[in-house]
Amino acid sequence: MYQPWAQSFEEQLMDKEDGIKRQYAQRTMHWSHLLQATGGPEQTRITTLGTPEQGRFYYPIEKRRTKDNVEAMREAEKNLDIFWKTVDQNLRSKAGDKLDQTALRKLLSQPRILQRTPAWVQPETNKTGGEKAATDVDAIRKPLSDLYLDLRQGVESTTGRKVLHDRKSTAKAKKQGVSSHPSNGITADSAEIAPSAVPDQQPILPVDARALKVFRTLFYTPSVTATPGEVVWTDFLHAMVSTGFVPEKLYGSVWQFSPTKLDVERSIQFHEPHPAGKLPYRTARRFGRRLERAYGWFGGMFVLGEKYLENI
């Protein structure tokens, strides 16, 4: 039906073939550098280091802290560090600045913070014979990568949780309507990686016991006497409402939470769990990390309303 008109496609393609090939080569140039950096003999080594065999990445964070569980998590973190160190070294040596202006470089060079599991310390025993829980077993935090694709190598800072939880960019401070100022808790190395990273002073949010239980799970502090648990979805809705958000179901399992009382501008969306109607512990922690990145929230912000009012 389309002949002889359809025959003209191939004829015109022959005239434009060279230009199309040049444009394709220019567009995929960065991809070829990436393939060269991750291919060859090193590809087998990278694949081996990243394969979750023999419990290499076993990470029992949802279990109560014991010596065996802590050592397993530290071993998984060590193996993951070796994997990413190998990947980053290959990218630096074989691709280097050829990856500038690519989405991959932007992703790997983000000034995110990782939380590390400290070495196991035998809990102190109190006078009643019980074990005294560690108060700050997750205080070791460091940049997302030692490498940052050569933006900064070997940077590691161990600071208190309060300063690190408060650390947010000035751009976010504008959205939150909270004043930002320099703090001695930020090191020169941290400032070099993320010049805009400064702490925000977060307000104290008094909530009821039901909401406080939810936030203690979202921003869970591990200890030898506590076991992380699930969060009922209705309790999560209640907790968000109690802090000044209005929930709205959009489509499927997607819920949007729009701020009303808080001095923030952006909304945030979460997926309702189904069919159980409960957030597993890992999902709840993921929700907590999203709230931390979006609003700078951390566990110490939330207090029981009755006790808070009594103290003030």
pLDDT in tens, 103-112: 877 887 777 7
pLDDT over threshold 90, residue 10 = no
Are 184 and 255 in a shared domain? no
Are 74 and 223 in a shared domain? no
Are 172 and 127 in a shared domain? yes
The answer to whether residue 184 is domain-embedded is yes
Are 188 and 56 in a shared domain? yes
pLDDT over threshold 80, residue 9 = yes
Are 82 and 168 in a shared domain? yes
Query: What total of structural domains would you count in the chain?
Result: 2
pTM flag (> 0.85): no
- If one counts every other C-beta atom within 10 angstroms of the C-beta of residue 260, the result is 10
Beta bridge partners of 207: 304
Are 81 and 180 in a shared domain? yes
The answer to whether residue 183 is domain-embedded is yes
Among 199, 231, 254, give the residue marking a domain's end. 199
Binned at pLDDT 50, 70 and 90, residue 140 comes out as: low
The answer to whether residue 167 is domain-embedded is yes
Among 199, 222, 251, give the residue marking a domain's end. 199
pLDDT over threshold 80, residue 198 = no
CB 158 within 8 A of CB 142: yes
The answer to whether residue 76 is domain-embedded is yes
Rounded Cα–Cα distance for residues 143 and 61 (Å):
20
Residue 72 confidence (pLDDT)? 93
Are 163 and 233 in a shared domain? no
Are 175 and 106 in a shared domain? yes
Residue 238 confidence (pLDDT)? 94
Are 246 and 130 in a shared domain? no
Label residue 147 exposed, middle or buried (CB < 10 Å: 0-12, 13-18, 19+): buried
Are 194 and 249 in a shared domain? no
Give the residue ranges of DSSP H helices in the chain.
7-27, 29-38, 41-50, 67-90, 103-108, 161-166, 170-176, 188-193, 209-218, 233-242, 281-295, 305-311
Among 199, 219, 249, give the residue marking a domain's end. 199
Are 233 and 174 in a shared domain? no
Residue 37 confidence (pLDDT)? 74
Binned at pLDDT 50, 70 and 90, residue 175 comes out as: very low
Residue 291 sits in which domain range? Answer: 205-311
